[in-house]
Chains A and B, each alone.
Chain A
Amino acid sequence: SQTIHQWPATLVQPVGSPLSLECTVEGTSNPNLYWYRQAAGRGLQLLFYSVGIGQISSEVPQNLSASRPQDRQFILSSKKLLLSDSGFYLCAWGPGTKYEQYFGPGTRLTVT
Protein backbone atom coordinates (compact mmCIF):
# COMPACT_ATOMS: atom_id res chain seq x y z
CA SER A 1 0.00 0.00 0.00
CA GLN A 2 1.01 3.61 -0.47
CA THR A 3 2.23 5.83 2.34
CA ILE A 4 3.05 9.51 2.39
CA HIS A 5 5.38 11.08 4.95
CA GLN A 6 5.98 14.70 5.87
CA TRP A 7 8.51 16.19 8.24
CA PRO A 8 8.88 17.93 10.45
CA ALA A 9 5.44 17.79 12.05
CA THR A 10 5.81 21.21 13.64
CA LEU A 11 8.26 24.02 13.09
CA VAL A 12 8.79 27.44 14.65
CA GLN A 13 11.06 29.71 12.66
CA PRO A 14 12.00 33.41 12.94
CA VAL A 15 11.23 35.86 10.17
CA GLY A 16 14.00 35.90 7.59
CA SER A 17 15.19 32.36 8.25
CA PRO A 18 15.27 29.64 5.56
CA LEU A 19 12.77 26.81 5.25
CA SER A 20 12.89 23.25 4.02
CA LEU A 21 9.92 20.90 4.28
CA GLU A 22 10.17 17.39 2.94
CA CYS A 23 7.58 14.97 1.61
CA THR A 24 8.16 11.40 0.49
CA VAL A 25 5.82 8.79 -0.93
CA GLU A 26 6.23 5.04 -0.68
CA GLY A 27 4.58 2.22 -2.57
CA THR A 28 3.99 3.90 -5.91
CA SER A 29 5.99 5.20 -8.84
CA ASN A 30 5.79 8.36 -10.91
CA PRO A 31 3.11 9.97 -8.75
CA ASN A 32 1.80 13.49 -9.22
CA LEU A 33 2.90 15.50 -6.17
CA TYR A 34 1.34 18.60 -4.64
CA TRP A 35 2.05 21.20 -1.97
CA TYR A 36 -0.87 23.02 -0.34
CA ARG A 37 -1.05 25.66 2.36
CA GLN A 38 -3.93 26.01 4.76
CA ALA A 39 -4.05 29.28 6.69
CA ALA A 40 -6.02 29.46 9.93
CA GLY A 41 -9.75 29.29 9.24
CA ARG A 42 -9.29 29.16 5.51
CA GLY A 43 -9.44 26.56 2.78
CA LEU A 44 -6.64 24.91 0.88
CA GLN A 45 -4.40 26.89 -1.41
CA LEU A 46 -2.45 24.93 -4.02
CA LEU A 47 1.15 26.17 -4.07
CA PHE A 48 2.99 23.81 -6.41
CA TYR A 49 2.45 20.58 -8.25
CA SER A 50 4.71 18.22 -10.15
CA VAL A 51 3.99 15.52 -12.71
CA GLY A 52 7.58 14.25 -12.88
CA ILE A 53 11.17 14.72 -11.72
CA GLY A 54 12.29 18.29 -12.27
CA GLN A 55 8.83 19.36 -13.50
CA ILE A 56 7.34 21.96 -11.16
CA SER A 57 4.30 24.15 -11.76
CA SER A 58 3.77 27.17 -9.51
CA GLU A 59 0.27 28.30 -8.73
CA VAL A 60 0.85 31.35 -6.57
CA PRO A 61 3.69 33.90 -6.83
CA GLN A 62 5.44 34.06 -3.49
CA ASN A 63 8.80 33.62 -1.78
CA LEU A 64 8.43 29.85 -1.73
CA SER A 65 9.90 27.33 -4.18
CA ALA A 66 9.58 23.61 -4.72
CA SER A 67 11.85 20.91 -6.05
CA ARG A 68 11.51 17.25 -6.94
CA PRO A 69 14.97 15.74 -6.86
CA GLN A 70 13.70 12.15 -6.92
CA ASP A 71 10.57 10.46 -8.23
CA ARG A 72 8.90 10.21 -4.83
CA GLN A 73 10.42 13.19 -3.03
CA PHE A 74 9.00 16.70 -3.00
CA ILE A 75 10.63 19.58 -1.14
CA LEU A 76 9.22 22.99 -0.27
CA SER A 77 11.75 25.73 0.41
CA SER A 78 12.17 29.37 1.17
CA LYS A 79 15.28 31.51 1.45
CA LYS A 80 13.68 34.05 3.81
CA LEU A 81 10.44 33.39 5.66
CA LEU A 82 7.74 36.03 6.10
CA LEU A 83 5.16 36.21 8.88
CA SER A 84 2.51 35.49 6.24
CA ASP A 85 4.14 32.12 5.53
CA SER A 86 2.71 30.74 8.77
CA GLY A 87 0.18 27.97 8.22
CA PHE A 88 -0.43 24.28 7.86
CA TYR A 89 1.45 22.79 4.91
CA LEU A 90 0.08 19.67 3.30
CA CYS A 91 1.73 17.43 0.77
CA ALA A 92 -0.38 15.16 -1.40
CA TRP A 93 0.15 12.58 -4.10
CA GLY A 94 -2.08 11.38 -6.88
CA PRO A 95 -1.85 8.59 -9.43
CA GLY A 96 -0.94 9.61 -12.94
CA THR A 97 -4.46 8.74 -14.06
CA LYS A 98 -5.61 12.10 -12.68
CA TYR A 99 -8.05 10.95 -10.03
CA GLU A 100 -8.13 11.56 -6.30
CA GLN A 101 -5.27 12.86 -4.18
CA TYR A 102 -3.98 11.42 -0.93
CA PHE A 103 -2.69 13.72 1.75
CA GLY A 104 0.15 13.56 4.23
CA PRO A 105 -0.18 14.42 7.93
CA GLY A 106 0.95 18.02 7.42
CA THR A 107 3.52 20.39 8.90
CA ARG A 108 2.46 23.22 11.21
CA LEU A 109 4.74 26.19 10.50
CA THR A 110 4.78 29.22 12.79
CA VAL A 111 6.89 32.17 11.73
CA THR A 112 7.69 34.48 14.66
Chain B
Amino acid sequence: AQSVTQLDSQVPVFEEAPVELRCNYSSSVSVYLFWYVQYPNQGLQLLLKYLSGSTLVKGINGFEAEFNKSQTSFHLRKPSVHISDTAEYFCASQTQGGSEKLVFGKGTKLTVNP
Protein backbone atom coordinates (compact mmCIF):
# COMPACT_ATOMS: atom_id res chain seq x y z
CA ALA B 1 0.00 0.00 0.00
CA GLN B 2 1.04 3.55 -0.67
CA SER B 3 1.91 5.86 2.24
CA VAL B 4 3.48 9.25 2.88
CA THR B 5 5.32 10.17 6.07
CA GLN B 6 6.17 13.71 7.04
CA LEU B 7 8.84 13.34 9.66
CA ASP B 8 8.26 16.59 11.54
CA SER B 9 4.86 17.78 12.73
CA GLN B 10 6.21 21.25 13.62
CA VAL B 11 9.26 23.17 12.42
CA PRO B 12 10.10 26.55 14.00
CA VAL B 13 12.71 28.70 12.28
CA PHE B 14 13.89 32.30 12.33
CA GLU B 15 13.27 34.65 9.46
CA GLU B 16 15.90 34.49 6.68
CA ALA B 17 17.12 31.07 7.87
CA PRO B 18 17.06 28.05 5.54
CA VAL B 19 14.47 25.35 6.07
CA GLU B 20 13.96 21.74 5.05
CA LEU B 21 10.65 19.91 5.48
CA ARG B 22 11.08 16.18 5.21
CA CYS B 23 8.85 13.75 3.35
CA ASN B 24 9.28 10.03 2.75
CA TYR B 25 7.00 7.90 0.63
CA SER B 26 6.38 4.20 0.37
CA SER B 27 5.14 2.54 -2.77
CA SER B 28 5.83 -0.66 -4.67
CA VAL B 29 5.48 1.19 -7.98
CA SER B 30 6.56 4.53 -9.39
CA VAL B 31 4.80 7.59 -8.04
CA TYR B 32 4.15 11.22 -8.76
CA LEU B 33 4.95 13.53 -5.85
CA PHE B 34 3.54 16.88 -4.76
CA TRP B 35 3.93 19.55 -2.10
CA TYR B 36 1.00 21.72 -1.07
CA VAL B 37 0.81 24.73 1.25
CA GLN B 38 -2.18 25.68 3.38
CA TYR B 39 -2.51 29.09 5.00
CA PRO B 40 -4.94 29.39 7.95
CA ASN B 41 -8.58 28.88 7.01
CA GLN B 42 -7.76 28.47 3.34
CA GLY B 43 -7.65 25.65 0.83
CA LEU B 44 -4.47 23.92 -0.29
CA GLN B 45 -2.27 25.52 -2.93
CA LEU B 46 0.06 23.48 -5.11
CA LEU B 47 3.70 24.46 -4.48
CA LEU B 48 5.45 22.06 -6.83
CA LYS B 49 5.25 18.62 -8.38
CA TYR B 50 7.53 15.86 -9.56
CA LEU B 51 6.23 13.83 -12.48
CA SER B 52 9.43 12.70 -14.24
CA GLY B 53 12.76 14.01 -15.50
CA SER B 54 15.02 16.23 -13.42
CA THR B 55 15.04 15.24 -9.77
CA LEU B 56 15.31 18.86 -8.61
CA VAL B 57 11.97 20.58 -8.91
CA LYS B 58 11.42 24.29 -8.48
CA GLY B 59 8.10 25.69 -7.36
CA ILE B 60 6.43 28.91 -6.41
CA ASN B 61 7.53 31.27 -3.62
CA GLY B 62 11.18 30.20 -3.88
CA PHE B 63 10.63 26.60 -2.77
CA GLU B 64 12.30 23.59 -4.32
CA ALA B 65 12.27 19.86 -3.69
CA GLU B 66 14.52 17.00 -4.60
CA PHE B 67 13.27 13.55 -5.56
CA ASN B 68 15.54 10.80 -4.26
CA LYS B 69 14.42 7.40 -5.47
CA SER B 70 16.98 5.38 -3.51
CA GLN B 71 15.94 7.03 -0.25
CA THR B 72 12.28 7.30 -1.26
CA SER B 73 12.29 10.93 -0.20
CA PHE B 74 10.98 14.21 -1.53
CA HIS B 75 12.20 16.90 0.87
CA LEU B 76 11.10 20.51 0.49
CA ARG B 77 13.65 23.30 0.90
CA LYS B 78 13.89 27.07 0.89
CA PRO B 79 17.22 28.89 1.34
CA SER B 80 15.74 31.90 3.18
CA VAL B 81 12.26 31.97 4.70
CA HIS B 82 9.96 34.91 5.33
CA ILE B 83 7.34 35.50 7.97
CA SER B 84 4.74 35.00 5.25
CA ASP B 85 5.89 31.38 4.76
CA THR B 86 4.27 30.49 8.07
CA ALA B 87 1.73 27.83 7.08
CA GLU B 88 1.10 24.09 7.02
CA TYR B 89 2.78 22.07 4.33
CA PHE B 90 1.54 18.75 2.97
CA CYS B 91 3.41 16.16 0.95
CA ALA B 92 1.36 13.88 -1.30
CA SER B 93 1.90 11.02 -3.72
CA GLN B 94 -0.04 9.36 -6.49
CA THR B 95 0.67 5.99 -8.05
CA GLN B 96 1.64 6.24 -11.69
CA GLY B 97 -0.98 4.55 -13.83
CA GLY B 98 -3.03 3.71 -10.79
CA SER B 99 -5.77 5.29 -8.74
CA GLU B 100 -7.04 8.83 -9.23
CA LYS B 101 -6.46 9.45 -5.52
CA LEU B 102 -3.68 11.36 -3.77
CA VAL B 103 -2.22 10.01 -0.55
CA PHE B 104 -1.34 12.84 1.84
CA GLY B 105 1.05 13.05 4.73
CA LYS B 106 -0.20 14.46 8.01
CA GLY B 107 1.35 17.85 7.43
CA THR B 108 4.19 19.95 8.85
CA LYS B 109 3.44 23.24 10.56
CA LEU B 110 6.16 25.74 9.63
CA THR B 111 6.41 28.74 11.94
CA VAL B 112 8.75 31.55 10.94
CA ASN B 113 9.72 33.79 13.85
CA PRO B 114 11.15 37.31 13.58
Mask: chain A, 38-58; 1 = CB below 8 Å from B; 0 = not: 000011101001010000000
In this complex, what residue of A is CB-closest to B98? Answer: A98
A32–B43 Cα distance when bound, in Å, is 17
Contact status A105-B101, CB under 8 Å: no
Report the interface size class on chain B. 20 to 34
Please give, as numbers and ranges, the residues of chain A lying within 8 Å of B102 by CB-CB distance: 46, 100-101
A94–B99 Cα distance when bound, in Å, is 12
A41–B46 Cα distance when bound, in Å, is 20
In this complex, what residue of A is CB-closest to B96? Answer: A98
- Given the known interface contacts A98-B94, A99-B94, the answer about A43 and B104 at a Cβ–Cβ threshold of 8 Å is yes
3-50 of chain B: CB within 8 A of chain A: 32, 34, 36, 41-46, 49
Total chain A interface residues with beta-carbon distance under 8 A: 23
Q: List 30 A-B contacts (CB under 8 A).
A: A32-B100, A34-B101, A42-B106, A43-B90, A43-B104, A43-B106, A44-B44, A44-B90, A46-B101, A49-B100, A49-B101, A51-B100, A59-B101, A88-B41, A90-B44, A92-B43, A99-B49, A100-B32, A100-B34, A100-B46, A100-B49, A100-B102, A101-B102, A102-B46, A103-B36, A103-B44, A103-B45, A104-B43, A105-B42, A106-B43
Residues of A within 8 A of B (CB): 32, 34, 42-44, 46, 49, 51, 59, 88, 90, 92, 94, 98-106, 108
